[in-house]
Amino acid sequence: MSRRVDRLRRHQVRLLPAFALAIGLGTAPAPRAADSPDPIATLVVDARSGAVLHAERATTRLHPASLTKLMTVYLVLDAIRRGAITVDSRWPVSAHAASQPPTSMGLDAGEEVPVGTLLLGLAVASANDAAMVAAEALGGDEATFVERMNATAAALGLRDTTFGNPSGLPDPEQLTTARDMALLALALEREFPGHGGLFASRSFVWNGRTEHTTNRFLTSYTGADGMKTGFTCNAGYNLVATATRDGRRLLGVVLAASSTGQRDATMRALLDRAFGAAPTTTSTLAALGPAATTPPPRRGVIAEACLAGPSGGWNVDLGVARTERAARDMARSFIGARRASLGGGRPLIIPRYTGVTLYRACVTGVTEERARATCLAYRREGGQCVIFGPDAARRQVEDAKRIQRLQSRRSD
């Protein structure tokens, strides 16, 4: 075991000499994440009757990513229904909200944004800054709003869902199931029919800039008329979709796909099959078994795009932290403060084994040019960072996972 750790240390030194550029951009296709992920979770229900037409691993607890924003939208619409606000009410943008990492609307601290525009930002652009503005306006602070999210989830029967933030940014304790996401989506449609076009919108304009939908399925599937995407490296690619054909309306959920192509193709096949067959089941969402009987949530990177890519797979290494959460916060803060320079990016946390486990805070998913320029500017400010390419990232993640497996076997 010690020889293996020593080899990993030497490998890391070769890959990441201080302030030097690591291995060049590879030409091989992006691989699946190390440790082939469990099968994805899928569900199809009749949106009008609630009958379950298909369910596979529908009660496995997984990370929701930006499907979390369905609950944030629900609470904003509930405040409108109660008369506490209107779509024309304007909410202030705090520095904390403005610093949220992409995806974002690019809101600036101190400006005020109409509630209606923020709703579009949540539903169409999947904007994390819009989610934080809503949380602070409705809850007073993020923690109070999250408490309200979880209380509402319980009231709606989302028995296996726990929210940790209003946007879906990575949080190891933020979990849901396909069943619960279907219940939440149906509640949005049932309780707020006057806002039915919100999740069908394909674009909107704010401050002279057009924000386009993140939902490719909405623009490519015949009959698609709404709902929401979600993505983080650990969640994979998630989708809740609604579609109407020949008077029938279906709702589908796909969780933990490893690519947008897999996610959309899976949803397309499920809905096509359901539209092509007469309903033969009276099963309901309530009848689906509890999540306690399913495997524990997966850890580690699921999405292919987080390990390598032909144009946007470069990385910025910011150093190590003692906990995974601290490393993730470090990466998020870096992204939020430098979103214009990075042009995107998302946290990538790589365990580092040096007798004790530390966690390397990295930002992944940016181009070589932006990674180089951002890191150089950060160093001029007195910070420390290293950039490295997608092949290096993939090998380091795979090496860390191999050591993790060896340690697990030794402890068994």
Say what the pLDDT of residue 305 is.
Answer: 59
Tokens of 13: 């030194």
**Residue from 66, 99, 201, 258 carrying the catalytic annotation:** 66
Q: Which residue has better confidence, 341 or 102?
A: 341
Tens digits of residue pLDDT in 330-382: 998 899 888 888 888 888 888 877 667 888 899 988 888 899 999 999 999 99
- Give the pLDDT confidence score for residue 285 in this predicted structure: 82
Beta-sheet pairing, 209-212 with 203-206: antiparallel
Average pLDDT, integer, range 160-189: 95
Question: Once rounded to an integer, what is the mean pLDDT over residues 4-17?
Answer: 35
The stretch 25-46 carries a mean pLDDT of: 54
Tell me the C-alpha to C-alpha distance, in Å, between residue 358 and each of 314, 322, 326: 22, 5, 10
Q: Cβ(64)–Cβ(260) under 8 Å?
A: no
Instruction: Indicate the residue type of 104.
Output: S
At residue 307, the pLDDT reads 52
Per-residue pLDDT at 151:
98
User: 104, 126, 167, 258: which is the annotated catalytic residue?
Assistant: 126
Judge residue 292's burial from the number of C-beta atoms within 10 Å of its C-beta, 0-12 exposed, 13-18 middle, 19 or more buried. Answer: exposed
Catalytic residue list contains 69: yes
Candidates 206, 207, 208, 226; CA nearest to 217 is 226
Bigger pLDDT: 312 vs 227: 227
User: What pLDDT score does 304 carry?
Assistant: 61
| CATH number 3.40.710.10 given to 41-293 | yes
pLDDT for res 89:
98
**Separation of alpha carbons 28 and 211, rounded Å:** 33
Q: Please state, in angstroms and as integers, the Cα–Cα distance from residue 73 to each residue in 60, 101, 281, 304, 396, following that order.
A: 24, 19, 31, 29, 38
**Domain pair 2-31+307-411 / 41-293, same fold:** no
**Span 240-244, average pLDDT:** 97
- Whether pTM > 0.75 for this model: the answer is no
More confidently predicted of 25 and 184: 184
Of 34-48, 300-314, 348-362, least confident by mean pLDDT is 300-314
The reply to whether 94 belongs to the active site is: no
What's the CATH number for 2-31+307-411? Answer: 3.30.70.1070
- The pLDDT of residue 294 is 47
**Candidate list 2, 36, 49, 69, residue with the active-site label:** 69
Question: Looking up tokens 């995107």, which residue turns up?
Answer: 344
Instruction: Specify the amino acid at residue 16.
Output: L
What is the overall mean pLDDT for the chain?
A: 83
* DSSP character string of 357-399: EEEEEEEEEE-HHHHHHHHHHHHHTT---EEE-HHHHHHHHHH
68-100 burial code (b ≥16 CB/10 A, e <16): bbbbbbbbbbebbeeeebeeebebebbebbbbb
126 assigned to active site: yes
Nearest CA to 101 out of 77, 126, 84 is that of 126
Q: What does the pLDDT average to over 217-223?
A: 95
Asked if the model's pLDDT at residue 386 lies above 90, the reply is: yes
Residue 22 pLDDT greater than 70, yes or no = no
Q: For 175, left (φ over 0), alpha (ψ -120 to 50), or beta?
A: beta
Domain parsing of the chain, residue ranges = 2-31+307-411, 41-293
